Amino acid sequence: MDQQEILAGFSPERANLLPLLHALQDNHPQNYLTGESLNAVARHLKVNLSWVYGVAGYYSMFSLKPRGRYVIRVCNSPVCNMLGSSGIIEALSGILGIGKGETTPDGLFTVEEAECLGICDLAPAMMVNRTVYGNLTKESLKEIIDELRIIKKGQK
Amino acid sequence: MIKEKRLILKNSGVIDPLSIKDYIDSGGYKALSKALTGTPEKVVEEVMSSGLRGRGGAGFPTGVKEQTTAGKKEGKISYVVCNADEGEPGTFKDRVIMESDPHLLVEGMILAAYGIGAEKGYIYIRGEYYDSIAKLKNAIRQAYESGYLGSNILGSGFTFDLEIKPGAGSYLCGEELTLLESLEGKRGYPRIKPPFPAEKGLWGKPTLVNNVETLANLPGIIGQGSEWYRSSGTDRTPGTKVFSICGDVKKPGCYEVDAGVILNDLINDLAGGTINGQPWKAVLLGGAAGTFVPFSFSDLSLCYERLKERGATLGSGAVIVIGSDRKLIPLMQSILRFFRHESCGKCVPCRLGTTFIYESSIRLGEADHDARILIVEEIVNHSREMAKSSLCPLGQSPVLPLGTLQIHFTETIASE
| Contact present, B105 and B137 (Cβ < 8 Å) | no
Mean pLDDT of B82-108: 98
pLDDT at B265: 98
Residues of chain B found within 8 Å of residue A19, distances taken between Cβ atoms: 165-166
CB atoms within 10 A of CB B278: 13
State the Cα–Cα distance between residues B240 and B228, nearest whole angstrom.
12
Residue range A33-80, pLDDT digits in tens: 999 999 999 999 999 999 999 999 999 999 999 999 999 999 999 999
Q: State residue B313's pLDDT score.
A: 93
- Give percent of chain A with pLDDT exceeding 70: 97
- Give CA separation, B217 vs A122, B14, B210, B294, B328, in Å: 26, 18, 11, 31, 36
pLDDT, chain B, mean? 96
Q: What is the CA angle A129-A132-A136, rounded to 5? A: 120
CB-based contact B87:B96 (threshold 8 Å): no
Residue pair A75/A135 in contact by the 8 Å Cβ criterion: no
Please state whether the peptide bond connecting residue B61 to the residue before it is cis, i.e. omega within 30 degrees of 0. Answer: no
Dist CA B55 CA B217 (whole Å): 10
Q: Is the backbone of residue B75 left (phi > 0), alpha (psi -120 to 50) or beta?
A: left
Q: Is the CB of residue B91 less than 8 Å from the CB of residue B314?
A: no
Q: What pLDDT is attached to residue A152? A: 64
Distance of alpha carbon B92 from the chain centroid: 9
What residues contact B236, with CB distance under 8 A and at least 6 apart? B51, B303, B304, B305
Q: Which H helix or E strand runs over A58?
A: helix A49-58
pLDDT in tens, A115-131: 999 999 999 999 999 99
Q: Which residues pair with A73 in a beta bridge?
A: A112, A127
User: pTM for the complete prediction?
Assistant: 0.96
Selecting from A16, A17, A61 the residue whose C-beta is nearest the C-beta of B127 gives A61
Query: What pLDDT score was predicted for residue B305?
Result: 92
Each residue's pLDDT tens digit, B154-209:
999 999 999 999 999 999 999 999 999 999 999 999 999 999 999 999 999 999 99
Neighbours of B380 (CB within 10 A): 19
- pLDDT at site A151: 76
- Residue-wise pLDDT tens digits, B287-312: 999 999 999 999 999 999 999 999 99
Residue B75 pLDDT class (50, 70, 90 cuts):
confident
3-state secondary structure A136-156: CCHHHHHHHHHHHHHHCCCCC
Cβ contact, residue pair B342, A17, below 8 Å = no
Compute the distance between CA of residue B9 and CA of residue B55 in angstroms, rounded to an integer: 14
> What ipTM was reported for this prediction?
0.95
Inform me whether the C-beta atom of residue A60 falls under 8 Å from chain B C-beta atoms.
yes
Report yes or no: B166 at the A interface, CB cutoff 8 Å. yes
DSSP state of B19: -
Facing residue for A121 by CB, picked from B87, B246, B330: B246
A77/B185 touch (CB, cutoff 8 Å), yes or no? no
pLDDT at B122 exceeding the cut of 70: yes
Percent of chain A with pLDDT over 90: 94
The pLDDT value recorded for residue B72 is 79
User: Which of the residue ranges A92-106, B65-79, B169-183, B333-347 would you say has the lowest mean pLDDT?
Assistant: B65-79
| Residue-level pLDDT at B208 | 97
Q: Are strands B240-247 and B318-322 parallel, antiparallel or unpaired?
A: parallel
| Cβ–Cβ gap A118/B326 under 8 Å | no
Q: Distance (Å) from the C-alpha of residue B335 to the closest C-alpha of chain A?
A: 6
Report how far apart the first and last C-alpha atoms of chain B are (Å, whole number).
35
Torsion angle, alpha carbons of B193, B165, B215, B152, to 10: 110
Is pLDDT above 80 for B33? yes
The 8-class DSSP code of residue B235 comes to S
Q: How far is CA B244 from the centre of its chain?
A: 11
Instruction: Please name the amino acid found at residue A53.
Output: Y
Mean pLDDT of B46-66: 95
Rounded to 5°, angle at Cα B135 from B133 and B141: 100
- Cβ under 8 Å to A: B residues 146-165: 165
Closest CA to B304 of B246, B256, B352, B241: B241
The Cα of A120 is separated from the nearest Cα of chain B by a number of Å equal to 6
For residue B266, what is the DSSP state? I
Within 305-324 of B, beta carbons closer than 8 Å to A belong to: 318, 320, 322
Residue B216's CB is within 10 A of a number of other CB atoms, namely 28
Instruction: Tell me: pLDDT of B408 over 80.
Output: yes
Overall residue count recorded for chain A in this entry: 156
* pLDDT digit string, tens, across residues A105-117: 999 999 999 999 9
Dihedral (Cα; B368, B369, B370, B372), 10-degree rounding: 80
pLDDT given at position B76: 79
- Kindly list the residues from chain B whose CB atom is less than 8 angstroms away from the CB atom of residue A122: 252
What letter does residue B202 receive in the DSSP assignment? G
What are the two backbone dihedrals, phi and then psi, of residue B191, each rounded to the nearest 5 degrees? -100, 165
Chain A partners within 8 Å of B133 (Cβ) = none
Task: Please report the pLDDT score of residue A153 as a whole number.
Answer: 52
Closest CA to B121 of B71, B82, B157, B159: B82
Spatial contact of B29 and B104, defined as CB atoms under 8 Å apart:
no
The whole-number pLDDT of residue A156 equals: 46
The total number of residues shown for chain B amounts to 416
CB pair distance less than 8 Å for A120 and B129:
no
* Residues of chain A positioned with their CB less than 8 A from the CB of B170: 58-60
The single-letter DSSP state of residue B324 is: T
**What's the whole-number average pLDDT of chain A?**
95
**Is residue A28 pLDDT above 80, yes or no?**
yes
